[in-house]
Amino acid sequence: MILAWPDRRDGNRNIYASRIDGDGGLVATLLQSMTSRVCPSGITLEWMLSNEGAGASFFIARRDVNTGSLFETEDPLIARDGERYLYVDTTVRSGNVYRYTVDIIDGDGRRTLFETGRLAVPEIPLTLYQNHPNPFNPSTVIRFHMPAAQHVSLSVYDVSGRRIAVLADEFRTEGMHEIKWDGRNTGGSAVESGIYLYYLQAGKERLSRKMILLR
């Protein structure tokens, strides 16, 4: 018999499980704990194995509950710390609901290690993030999130309202994007130190932020 229970001993809601023999004693199990959660960068899966899991590899399948489509990765990028494993899926889409199945592959073949419940990714509106670094010299990165694929423009203006650089004027897909500005105008000349504004236009929405260039 396998006994499972929720536990928050490390601050997160984990699921622990132990196998019990006929006399009520504990039997070592391969999966010691697992947790799944939605985070700003995507969906995080974390699990811990017993020492018996050394040398194992993993196969991760993701099902989109909204559409029923299945995405599989045979060689996922998994961080390991001892017998603790961490996988972050950064390709999820806002507003969708997912379920994951993690299989383990070792000397005993391939078998399911665990399955998650439903993980809902919240809707993210059109978002323009603060550039980084700020202040900057000589360049900075501007990130923005697109809730849907559409034409977008990203431009830089000086404090007088004059447009000095166009960083993007094109069709962009849904998701996170980043663009580097090297502190030069459309003519290729380096601009002076000062405060600049960058505007993001997508459809009828327009967002703006300030940034500081220090030469």
* Tokens standing for residue 73: 């990765």
Please tell me the predicted confidence (pLDDT) of residue 7: 58
d(CA 160, CA 143): 24
In this structure, are strands 140-146 and 127-128 parallel, antiparallel, or unpaired?
antiparallel
Please tell me the predicted confidence (pLDDT) of residue 22: 52
Examine the domain organization and report whether 149 and 116 are in the same domain. Answer: no
Tens digit of each residue's pLDDT, the chain (215 residues): 555 656 554 455 555 555 554 554 443 468 889 999 998 778 999 999 887 666 788 999 999 998 899 998 766 889 988 889 999 998 888 889 999 999 998 887 889 999 999 999 998 899 999 999 999 999 999 999 998 899 999 999 999 999 999 999 999 998 889 999 999 999 999 999 999 999 999 999 999 999 999 98
Examine the domain organization and report whether 135 and 174 are in the same domain. Answer: yes
Examine the domain organization and report whether 80 and 98 are in the same domain. Answer: yes
CATH number at residue 164: 2.60.40.4070
Q: Is 52 helix (H, G, I), strand (E, B) or coil?
A: helix
The structural domain count of the chain equals 2
Q: Quick one: CA dihedral 61, 63, 64, 69, positive or negative?
A: positive
DSSP secondary structure letter of residue 56: -
Residues 6+ apart with CB under 8 A from 8: 14
Examine the domain organization and report whether 48 and 116 are in the same domain. Answer: yes
The residue segments making up the domain with residue 45 are 2-120
Instruction: Select from 120, 151, 186 the last residue of a domain.
Output: 120
Please tell me the predicted confidence (pLDDT) of residue 151: 97
Instruction: Select from 120, 143, 175 the last residue of a domain.
Output: 120
Examine the domain organization and report whether 66 and 150 are in the same domain. Answer: no
Please tell me the predicted confidence (pLDDT) of residue 5: 57
Question: H-helix or E-strand containing 207?
Answer: strand 205-213
d(CA 186, CA 157): 11
d(CA 206, CA 146): 12
Please tell me the predicted confidence (pLDDT) of residue 107: 81
Please tell me the predicted confidence (pLDDT) of residue 215: 87
Please tell me the predicted confidence (pLDDT) of residue 28: 43
Please tell me the predicted confidence (pLDDT) of residue 37: 95
Examine the domain organization and report whether 137 and 96 are in the same domain. Answer: no
**Burial label, 119 (beta-carbon count in 10 A; 0-12, 13-18, 19+):** buried
Please tell me the predicted confidence (pLDDT) of residue 52: 60
Cα 178 from chain centroid (whole Å)? 14
Examine the domain organization and report whether 96 and 42 are in the same domain. Answer: yes
CB 18 within 8 A of CB 29: yes
Examine the domain organization and report whether 160 and 114 are in the same domain. Answer: no
